Amino acid sequence: MAAAPSITEIQFENLLFPAVLTPPGSSKSYFLGGAGPFEKLIRGSKIRPLSGVEYSKKVMENCAAHMKSVGVYGDAEAAAILQFAEAFKNVDFKAGASVFYRQSPLGFLALSFSEDGNMPEKEAAVIENKALSSAVLETMIGEHAVSPDLKRSLAERLPAILQKGIVVTPPQHN
């Protein structure tokens, strides 16, 4: 039987993505990628400075449009969008800063912010709305993904993991 594929960190421009992370609010370690009925962790890192208001506005527009297009946008989703906006209103992303999205199949979306891309100690907000949580994932890797590079990276890495399992290779720093 062939050995399981080795998963290593990824360097993209000046951003380093470790093979696995353990988010605040969880004792589980996550491979940075995946989809399906299990908890997911997504790291969105900024290449250039961006205000949280500017970033969240675009995410909210995309999420609301998606939810409306699939017929799941109502009062609860509008309230969840407002909670999302509130979480980002005092955040300013410098180059290299990240937002972490932890998504539960139970229907919540937890947000964490990091100025340097490292995993933060605690979550900044938890929004209990499955439609919004699903819409965030859809806008990142779905048919009209806002990040073609993320979608491409997942497409390249997930098949081997799903077929053979995962072996995490520690980073090799000089």
pLDDT (tens digit per residue) in 114-141:
999 888 999 999 999 999 999 998 888 8
pLDDT value at 2 more than 70:
no
Assign 59 a pLDDT band (cuts: 50, 70, 90): very high
Domains of the chain, start order: 6-168 (3.50.70.10)
Find the helix packing angle between 75-88 and 52-69, rounded to 10°: 160
Helix and strand counts by DSSP (H, E) for the chain: 4, 12
